[in-house]
Amino acid sequence: MDGLAFIMKRIIILTLLVSTLTTACQSDSRVIPTLTSTPTLTSAQMIPTPRIKSSPIPQATSTESAATVIATDTLSAPSTPGLTETLENITATLETPIAGSDEWMELPVIPIINPDISEVYDRGQLLGNDPGAFSIFGDCQSRPDEFFGIYETDPLVYDALAPELQETVDNFTGSFDRESPTSQDGTTPGGLLWTEWHQGNYGCGATETPVDCELRIHRPSFVLIQIGTHFESRNTEYLRTIIDQLLVEGIVPILATKADNRELDNRINRDMALLAAEYDLPLWNFWSALSGLVGRGLVVKEGREDQGAVYLNEEAAELHRMTGLIMLDAVWRAATGQ
């Protein structure tokens, strides 16, 4: 009975500490346990302390970076009107922004990648991570049918890619078109750390978080983190917990901004940019890639009209896939010394 009493006590404590949230991918409310009372990072904390950098990040001397070359080589592939011009400009600005609350908006879509991430990658290889695997931590718009799956399922799309990007798809085949416990409708940073979020699916154990489960079953060398709109008050602390776990296990995190601003103050994207600076990690600024599209390529989804225009139209979705693949390629090549 002592053990049962202890369990009941824990359940009561968790019940008292829950926070209700709504996400852009899920119309109903989900209850996520609160992990900490530390507030979200504020604009006053704009001077971060890098944690993995051992040498200065190389500064761009021109726009002819490796990522730019890759992007340019890929420009002949898209057929959507206006998309080619948008892709041509994604790496045009490489200067480091001045500290401030909205400077993340000026960051390039594809940054120059710090080669020191190879230290994390190399450590992960010694720990047994799969050099041909990456994982995605995200919501409904990161699932394979909405995002990367097409690179494995549509030969025409694959054939249209530049040779460098085809090589990237070849290296990571098996990661593009797979469902996982960390990429589901309604996923938030808090959900990724909640043992009940995966509902026992995907071979996950009852005591595992979705992050624990995904790292065990897939053994990725890279993780792309792109969480959509949510209203968790401790977003940054949850993300720090996740990033710390990835780094300890020798996995290279790739942070990403999202397309919309449903929360009205851009705090989710700002938090991502601040964390990328704090940990000296690559940031895929997808938000900036949509600046040339009408309405930023965002539409209202039928049946979820109350959420507003937070879903990607066809043109924006193509940009999402293409710039995401370019980012994965750039980080992979930097980490492996290519």
Per-residue pLDDT reduced to its tens digit, 96-111: 444 446 889 999 999 9
Of residues 264 and 21, more confidence is placed in 264
The enclosing domain of 88 has a CATH number of 3.40.50.1110
- In terms of residue numbers, what domain contains 193? 2-335
Q: What is the pLDDT of residue 305?
A: 64
- 286/256 Cα distance (integer angstroms): 7
Q: Considering its fold, how many domains does the chain have in total? A: 1
- 172/150 Cα distance (integer angstroms): 13
Q: Is the pLDDT of residue 15 over 60?
A: no
Q: What is the pLDDT of residue 95?
A: 42
Q: For all residues of the chain together, what is the average pLDDT?
A: 75
Q: Is the pLDDT of residue 189 over 50?
A: yes
CB 30 within 8 A of CB 189: no
Q: What is the pLDDT of residue 52?
A: 38
What percent helix, strand, coil does the chain show, rounded to 5?
40, 10, 45
Q: Which of these ranges, 73-82, 100-109, 294-303, has the smallest mean pLDDT?
A: 73-82
Q: What is the pLDDT of residue 41?
A: 34
- 280/192 Cα distance (integer angstroms): 22
Q: What is the pLDDT of residue 118?
A: 98
pLDDT band at 308; cut points 50, 70, 90: low
